[in-house]
Amino acid sequence: MNIRIEWEYKAKNGAQTVFTSEQLPAAQVLMIVEDLMLTGRAKNIVLTDAYDSTWTVKELKKYVKEIASEPQNITIYFDGGFHKSARQAGLGYVVYFEQNEKQYRIRKNAFVDGLLSNNEAEYAALHLSISELEELGVHHSTVYFKGDSQVVIQQMAGDWPVYEKELAEWASKIDARLAKLNITPIYEHVSRKQNEEADRLATQALNGIEIDGKKELS
């Protein structure tokens, strides 16, 4: 969960102003707030989450303690490959996350029949990656989704309209699953090179090579 900090600051000469931070991870917010309080010049500190709910420092400390063993700082790279003539697709995704102060990477892919386009394969890969979040027990979190399909990223971010019926159905299913988990998605378009891990997994799926692995990163 990300939190925004707002506080009033009073300088030694009496001048006052209000500062607002960007959305930051809850644990980081606690460290900043504790430091602000030590200055003695920060007043009326307000902590607000992505749903505009406010938190006290005590509540946030309790929350951070409770989620210490849960996956955090999650980023997903996804990609879909498509053979038009055979109407076969390969889906791939990579999940990076932290848990119990350790970093992990999960790599998985899947072969799928019957899709209509490369864009639908990209949507299917994004949808499949959410299954991993469910297995990891992720909830009430911000998750970064990165892909090289500008169509999918811009449509899911709400910047482009979705005209194709099959794509609109995928988008609706994705939104519903994320809402059920109380996950706030942040969509980011990346280059094909930046997405090469997921791209490789999608290609391997089309070639009949199944990948399903988890690794602790140094």
What is the predicted pLDDT for the residue at 43? 84
Question: Which H or E run contains 72?
Answer: strand 72-83
Residue ranges and CATH numbers for the domains of the chain are 2-66 (no CATH), 72-217 (3.30.420.10)
Q: What is the pTM of this model?
A: 0.76
Q: What is the pLDDT of residue 204?
A: 97
CA torsion angle for 53, 54, 56, 62 (degrees, to 10)?
A: 20
pLDDT at 169: 97
- What pLDDT is stored for residue 63 in this prediction? 82
Question: What pLDDT does 132 receive?
Answer: 96
pLDDT digits (tens, 9 = 90+) for 145-186: 999 999 999 999 999 999 999 999 999 999 999 999 999 999
Positions of the chain with pLDDT lower than 50, given as ranges = none
What Cα–Cα distance (Å) separates residue 88 from each residue in 91, 108, 207?
A: 10, 17, 11
Residue 72 is predicted with a pLDDT of: 87
pLDDT at 12: 79
pLDDT of residue 214: 95
Q: Tens digits of per-residue pLDDT, 19-38?
A: 999 988 888 888 998 888 88
Q: Please name the residues in contact with 28: beta carbons below 8 A apart, sequence gap of 6 or more.
A: none
pLDDT number for residue 90: 97
Amino acid at 98: E
Taking residue 152's Cβ as centre, other Cβ atoms within 10 Å add up to: 29
